[in-house]
Amino acid sequence: MVGAPAPKPTDAPRAPVRRRAVARRTLTVLLPVVTLAVVLATINLDEITASLQTSDWRWAAVSFALGLATYAGAGLAFAAFAPVPVSLWTGTLVHSAGAFVSMVAPAGVGSAALNLRLLVKRGVSGPLAVATAALTQVMQFAVTVVLLLVIWAVSGTNELALVTPGRWTLLVGGAVVVLTGASMLVPPLRRWAVHKAGETLRQTWPRLSEVLGHPGRMALAALGSAVVTLGYVLAFGACLEAFGVHLNLVATALVYLVGNAAGSLVPSPGGIGTIEVTLIAGLTAAGVNPGVAASAVILFRTLTFWLPIPLGWLAFLRLQRTGDL
């Protein structure tokens, strides 16, 4: 008698793997929905309606234009660091397509994945493509820090009074710093941190050392990164101006950068939910009326995240037709 064939050894673990994948997708979808529900439950919709009726929509046009300019800035930085010729137009299209991909990818991941895809399609090796993408992100971070310090110096330190952290914030921040330093005293954690830092350095250093020999490329990459940071900060400020909120540039930059960083830490598509909550909380802490803050944030996200999605879809189709993706 011939029995039923025994299941293959590789068939058994597939169900747990699928369940974990479904759980991750469910978390990714539910997290922004729950977060937005909490926001809507804690804000005054009447205040939002009133602020929308009295807003100046000319500032919305300015904000939308500044948001589009960030794609050109990101494209310039990418083209400057690319080890193969990449035109500014192609780089801009890639990051515009990232607006479309961001609907299904965490904040900042979509554009990086498309950068890697384009470089690999053009014959760049995988490690070199990864190093180029990592170097672009490092430049963006460095330029953002420098710009924030320059804005702070030009505006004057007194203008940071609106966003000065409270006692509990300082205590929590200090505790985080102490715990981080103490963790480095534990040999396994220290070896892990050194390994990760060394791996990143090994990936980026060969490409960085090569690019350092071309000051023109470094200047273009820095310029493009500055356009990205300033574009979003000024677009955020324009949305505040649309509702009559005159927040100083330092406070505006700090609120936006913290919100954007929070969106990158939580694995929700495009940072949906997390960015909105953090921006509203930051504006409220800076003394902005919660209803007005929610209105300005909703307008900002509509202009810089939702409206560019159809344009990103067209850019994605264009890049597929040209064989770049």
pLDDT for the residue 319 = 93
Q: Give the tens place of pLDDT for each residue, 97-148.
A: 988 887 766 666 678 888 888 988 988 887 788 888 888 888 888 898 888 8
Query: Which of the two residues, 43 and 86, has the higher pLDDT score?
Result: 86
Summarize pLDDT for 212-264 with one digit per residue, the tens.
677 888 899 999 999 999 999 999 999 999 998 988 888 898 889 888 877 66
Residue 224 has phi, psi (to 5 degrees) of -60, -40
Among the ranges 23-27, 191-195, 206-210, which has the highest mean pLDDT value? 206-210
Q: What is the pTM of this model?
A: 0.74
- Burial string for 49-70 (b: 16+ CB within 10 Å, else e) reads eebbeebeeebbebbbebbbbb
Q: What is the mean pLDDT of the chain?
A: 75
Q: Which of 196, 194, 203, 220 lies closest to 72 in space, CA to CA? A: 220
Token duo for residue 29: 């979808």
Which residue ranges make up each domain of the chain?
A: 55-321
How far is the C-alpha of 91 from the C-alpha of 84, rounded, in Å? 12
CA distance 291 to 121: 47
| H or E element that contains 202 | helix 187-212
Q: How confident is the model at residue 267 (pLDDT cuts 50, 70, 90)?
A: low
Contact by Cβ (8 Å): 316, 79: no
Each residue's pLDDT tens digit, 26-48: 444 454 555 455 445 545 555 55
Q: Best-predicted range by mean pLDDT among 42-46, 147-151, 154-158, 303-307?
A: 303-307
CA angle 155, 239, 104 (to 5 degrees): 110
Place of tokens 């997290």: 31
Tell me which residue of 81, 123, 49, 107 sits closest to 210, measured CA to CA: 81
Contact 86, 79 (CB under 8 A): yes
Residues in the chain: 325
Host H or E run for residue 62: helix 58-81
Q: Which residue has the higher pLDDT, 203 or 225?
A: 225
- Which residue in this structure is represented by tokens 């919100």? 259
Please give the DSSP secondary-structure letter assigned to residue 185. T
The amino acid that residue 275 corresponds to is I
In this structure, are residues 318 and 93 in contact, taking their beta carbons and an 8 Å threshold?
A: yes
| Measured distance CA(273)–CA(263) in Å, rounded | 8
